[in-house]
Homo-oligomer: A and B are copies of this chain.
Amino acid sequence: MPLNILQLGGEPFGTQLSESDMRVYALKCISKQRTLSATENDNPFTVTPVSVTDDENQNSTDRIHPPLTFDIADVDDNGDTFTNNSITALLSSKFRDIQKRIKQYGLDSPRFRKRLVSKWESLNYDICENELHLKEQEKYKSKRKIAIKWVSRWIIMFLVGVGTALLAGAIHYIVEEIGHHKFDMLRNFLDRCAKEGCLYQPVLIWMAINLVVTITGACLVTYVQPVAAGSGIPFIKSYLNGVKIPGLLSLRAFVAKTIGVVLSILGGLACGKEGPMAHSGGIIAAGLGKGRIRFPGDKQLSFYDMFRDDHEIRDFVAGGAASGVSAAFGAPVGGTLFSVEEAASFWNQELTWRVFFSAMIACFGTNFLISAFSGHPTELSAPGLVRFNVFPDLSFDLIEIPVFLVMAVIGGLIGAAFVVLNYKLTVFRQKFLRKKWIKVLEAGIVASCTALAAFILMYSVNDCTDKHPTDHHSITSQMFCDDGKHNSMSNLFLTTPEGCLKALLHDPYGTFQVVTLLVFVVVFFFLGVWTYGLSVSSGVFIPSLVIGAAWGRMIGIGVVSLFPEESQFQSDVGKYALIGAACQLGGILRTTISLTVIIVECTGDISFGLPIMIVLMISKWVGDFITTGLYDMNVEVCGIPLLPWEPPPLCDEVKTSEVMSQPLTTFQPVENVGKIIDVLKHETCCGFPIVKYPPEHALDHPGKLKGLILRSQLTVLLKKKIFCQQGLLQPSNIHLKDFRDLFPDNIKINDIHVTEEERGYVMDLTSYMNPTPYTIEASFSLTKLFKLFRGLGLRHIIVVNSKHEPVGMVTRKDLAKFRAEAKRGLVHIEHLKIEDI
């Protein structure tokens, strides 16, 4: 077998190389940045099929030659290159390009939104059609087995819906009950102290409660599972897009997320419980799909394993996320669309039905539970956690559309400001607030400040009203008002953010003065900006809606004062608050069709859908003109390689060869165990092409591609000791179950122990490799490469030359780093930097 493992950094040319080889090598050396940089790092493995000897069991210590990577400009039989340029001209121009890019990167200090972080891997949706797989498929030729699998999927989706509904009901109940008691207690303190003049006491108690509760929640998130921080929607979105996020769907994340969000809200933070519901629903679905509960310390309860691959679990998670959204907003269609929008490249009708079904069950179940809490289980009057409640007479006139448009523009502008400020804050946090205890402390400080701000506002804004709030359970404090009146600001602060939203939407005209609302909007805006991105479990939906509803109501009051004689406008302040809320949400989040449908479903009235759609679209456009949406900003800051919907424009000239990673580490169909272990220890790739080297040719031929083996497969094979001495029969006591038992985690290569003797053994990979991996030719354009990736949901693709010999690999990160950039009237392609953090 003609294989050499060549050491990097040795003498530039080994003695076994002929002059023509040297020429080829020289060309290759300048061809790619990666080749150049590879000589400087300490990676000792570049496996290349360029040996001149036929030494079969090459020892891995025999590394004396310089690296030879494969040429991308493949010279075909007739001597012309497949691009029409001469190789040298092409390569030197590329070289200049690359040099320039390196310089640019070097000059840039941390650009949080212009980088990708290398730790994010992709999920693997490609089916490995090896012998084990085909053997299992054979079993499923029976109609009964197919039916069982089909029914199981539906049952799991049903359970996902039920589970999500139970969770939503439980969270709702706890938050409402305890929250009510908390604010009732505070009201008593406030009222009593307003009379007695002991104002420091209630504010200190309030701050202390918030501090303690929030710090508990922050500790839970920070120390148990940091990925549970925030709303979880950006992460779920990324997951559905195909990015693997470690720990996202674990039991720990579930605990941190659900208990965390209860504590955040009870801790008085300006946040909602809706975003986290999508994440929690996803975790429930993943758990049910895997059919396994894993406890800390490697113990696990396993029930079934037939759905344990990324593809199936992704489908369940889509259903779970949809259920979560559906339970939160009472929006089954909106929830389904939410999932589908992200997972669209893999959408199919059957899956959509299942997702829709589970969303429906979740909505229905939540409705039932919440109705049951209020004592009327069969009335089904509360379809979701948040509901804008029914507006008695929601209709609009054509004349109002211009007002709505203006509001949409305002919403877009305020939204953009929110995103920009939050971005600055996030960068600040990433730079300076990196220690865990500081993160917890910050959350505590925000919670205390929220209480302080609320108290100061209630104290300073002397807006007394005698109108009763629509919700009879809502708590109002009299403070310094006359008897029979109450402080209108207390109506907004002595409640959870959801109660606040309801008050703004539904309380009668005259409850709030313009000044009250103005001060409230400003303060709540900054609180919202500060809260989002804390290391607590919290959603940004409700704060956005509250901000929008407040200034929407202000505009409503303005409209009323323009037409003081027409009293029917007075009932319309709620309508304007609703439009304002929609505008603000559109301006901050910029979600799309799904958001529109969610809001329309929340409103419960289709006829008002049209103006809502219009304002959401305008506010999105206005916001997009200034900056990206909040979730997208989040994704960018985390450096997640999200693949966009469309290939970056004007990439027809960029070739796959410029995108791919080189040099390539390959294995032979029958490979030395020691070499496999060494490669796994030093390489981070998750897939290795398997090539069969032709016996007669040497330097120019990397060998025929035979298949692809994944890192996760290799580690399982090594762990199960599926190898033997040369010439003996390899054990085959391994089944698909063994691979699935270890899904989705890879075994760490350092946990595998192999004796020195076993290192000399060989492993026959042919039965386990994927014999038909997707490949692409090096001459294909980036556009086509992108379409392949997006259309097939790929994790990596092998780049081959025109002889079907592997010359490189492209991963999701290699693709995601291309982004269009407009500068001085021209459009360029920008390359993001890939960083290791």
Contacts and interface: CB of A to CB of B under 8 A. Distances in A.
29 contacts: A78-B695, A129-B783, A137-B652, A141-B826, A142-B826, A143-B825, A146-B827, A332-B610, A333-B333, A333-B600, A336-B593, A344-B347, A345-B347, A350-B646, A352-B592, A352-B593, A353-B592, A353-B593, A353-B617, A356-B596, A364-B610, A367-B610, A378-B398, A380-B396, A380-B397, A600-B606, A601-B609, A788-B791, A788-B792
Contact of A357 (B77, B345, B363, B617): B617
Given A380-B397, A704-B802, 15 more contacts: A77-B704, A127-B652, A140-B650, A141-B650, A333-B596, A333-B609, A344-B347, A345-B345, A352-B592, A356-B596, A378-B397, A380-B398, A601-B609, A603-B606, A791-B791
A340 to B, nearest CB: 8
A76 B134 contact: no
Contacts of A649: 140, 146
A784 B772 contact: yes
Given A360-B610, A650-B137, A653-B134, A76 B704 contact: yes
Given A77-B704, A350-B646, A592-B352, A143 B607 contact: no
A605 interface: yes
A143 B347 CA distance: 33
B606 A645 contact: no
A299 B792 CA distance: 43
Nearest to A775: B777
A292 interface: no
A613 interface: yes
A694 interface: yes
Contacts of A826: 141-143
Given A356-B613, A826-B141, A826-B142, A645 B378 contact: no
A781 interface: yes
A822 interface: yes
Contacts of A780: 772
A399 interface: yes
A11 B337 CA distance: 63
B144 A825 contact: yes
A367 B614 CA distance: 15
Interface string A19-59: 00000000000000000000000000000000000000000
Interface string A142-155: 11101000000000
Interface residues of A, number: 94
Nearest to A655: B772
A360 B613 contact: yes
B399 A378 contact: yes
A836 to B, nearest CB: 31
Nearest to A794: B791
B348 A645 contact: yes
A9 interface: no
Nearest to A706: B82
A650 B133 CA distance: 11
A383 interface: yes
Contacts of A607: 383, 604
A740 interface: no
Nearest to A620: B353
B129 A652 contact: yes
A203 to B, nearest CB: 42
A379 interface: yes
A804 B143 CA distance: 39
Interface in A126-141: 127, 129, 133-134, 137, 140-141
